[in-house]
A and B are shown apart, each in its own frame.
Chain A
Amino acid sequence: GQQLNQSPQSMFIQEGEDVSMNCTSSSIFNTWLWYKQEPGEGPVLLIALYKAGELTSNGRLTAQFGITRKDSFLNISASIPSDVGIYFCAGRTSGTYKYIFGTGTRLKVLA
């Protein structure tokens, strides 16, 4: 099935470091969502973006809707061990009802 490209695929970082990941598409989206998923659980919504250029924060997390509307970015500042998990982006085009998910970025934080 169709998936968006996310990079990096995985990251191993030290506690306290900042993290950046991105998601790219060949299609223009009008909505971007970012999720975190832990083993055996459903994805948890972190941030929703609706306008090109929009920058939205949720605590230590900040996400941006790319100007081209074909990409989005997620930053995590001062990482902590509970940030461990898989982060997914999801995009939706105008006039459709489905979200297309990214391939995921697996984050591991070393204490």
Chain B
Amino acid sequence: DAGVTQSPTHLIKTRGQHVTLRCSPISGHKSVSWYQQVLGQGPQFIFQYYEKEERGRGNFPDRFSARQFPNYSSELNVNALLLGDSALYLCASSLEGTSYEQYFGPGTRLTVT
């Protein structure tokens, strides 16, 4: 079975631009969580979506938004990019309800110049 997939793998953007990152969860998983991982640190929680509804939001500015589609895939959007947004963005999927184990994708490496 395919694991969590994310696209694109790498991305270079300029300050002030907008970016959209995409994630497809493991088949059968209805929950998607987004994390930001800055070099040298552990992942930081941004959002969790379950059945297309936002269930949790981390301490990130309103420039960060996300949504989940009927097929449970998800998009993370970041507006007005700052240099500090450069990071590895990770998507994790989980069953929820029966299991709280989260399985991560390979991530999208975002560089803001």
Contacts and interface: CB of A to CB of B under 8 A. Distances in A.
Interface of A: 1, 3-4, 31, 33, 35, 40-45, 48, 50, 88, 90, 92, 96-104
B56 A88 contact: no
Interface of B: 4, 33, 35, 41-45, 48, 50, 55-56, 58-59, 90, 99-107, 109
Given A43-B90, A97-B56, A3 B105 contact: no
Contacts, number: 62
B90 A48 contact: no
B42 A101 contact: yes
Contact of A45 (B101, B107, B109): B101
A42 B56 contact: no
B43 A43 contact: yes
Contacts of B43: 43, 88, 90, 101
Contacts of A103: 41-42
A98 B31 CA distance: 12
B56 A99 contact: no
Contacts of A88: 42-43
